[in-house]
Amino acid sequence: MAEIEEEPAAASEREQAIAAIFSEHHTPLVRLSTLLGADDPEDIVGEAFYQLFRRWRRLRDTDSAVAYLRSVVCNLTRMRIRHLQVARKHLARSGADPTTAHTIELDGTGLREDQRELLEALKELPSRQREALVLRYWLDLREVEIADAMNISAGAVKSHASRGMTALTKILEERQAESPRAQSDHSEADESYSGKQKRSRRVRGR
C-alpha cells in the first residue's frame, strides 16, 4: 500500500514544530541518554528525532511528542547497553581484549568531585533503576510521565526508584568508606585518640 503524500502545508507545519521541539529539548535528551549510560548519546537522540519525524502525524501534539522522545531515548539507550554487554562477553569468550569494545562513559566535565562520583555510581545500577532515578531526580518528572517514558506502571516506577535509591546509597557509602580521604580521617582520629590516651596516662602518673 503506497504512502499518502503529505500536503506541503502539513509538511511545513511538521518541520517547524519538530524544529521548535529540537531547539528546546535536544540538550536535555542528550543529557538523559548520557546519564542512563549511553556511549553515543548524540546518535541515540538523533535516531529518536528521526522516529518522531516519521510518526508525527500520529502524535501532532508537543507534549505527546516530548513524552514519545523520552520513551524512545530510554529504549534505545537500554538496547545499546545490552549490545555492549553482549559484545564484551563475546570478546571475553574469544580471548580478545574486551576493552576493544566501546566503553560506557558518563561525561563528568565541569562537575564537582561528588557529582562525578554520583554519576559513576549510577552506572552500577540495573538499567530500570537507573532510568527511574534519572527521570525522577534529574529531569524532575512526575510518576505518570516516568511511567510513560519507561512503558511501565506507576507502581513499578515507585518500586524501581525505591530499590535504586537504596542501592545507590549503599554504593556511595561503600565508596566513601574506601576513599583515601576517609581512611586518612580515620587515621587522624586514631592518632588523636591515641594522643589523648597518652596525655591522660601522664596526668594520672603525676
Reported as a pLDDT band with limits 50, 70 and 90, residue 105 is: very low
82 and 137 share a domain? no
49 and 97 share a domain? yes
Mean pLDDT, residues 102-115 taken together? 51
pLDDT over 90 at 25, yes or no: yes
pLDDT in tens, 61-86: 888 999 999 999 999 998 888 766 66
Mean pLDDT, residues 10-17 taken together? 84
d(CA 32, CA 134): 7
In whole numbers, what is the pLDDT of the chain averaged over residues? 78
153 and 175 share a domain? yes
60, part of any domain: yes
pTM score, whole prediction: 0.69
Q: Could you say which of 83, 105, 127 is where a domain stops?
A: 105
Mean pLDDT, residues 124-151 taken together? 92
129 and 72 share a domain? no
Q: Could you say which of 76, 105, 134 is where a domain stops?
A: 105
How crowded is residue 134: how many other Cβ atoms within 10 Å of its Cβ?
Answer: 24
1, part of any domain: no
99 and 12 share a domain? yes
Using left for φ > 0, alpha for ψ between -120 and 50, and beta otherwise, residue 61 falls in beta
pLDDT in tens, 31-51: 999 888 888 899 999 999 999
63 and 126 share a domain? no
Reported as a pLDDT band with limits 50, 70 and 90, residue 188 is: low
The pLDDT value given to residue 98: 46
What domain range is 131 assigned to? 112-206
Q: Which amino acid is at 193?
A: Y
Q: Could you say which of 105, 120, 153 is where a domain stops?
A: 105
2, part of any domain: no
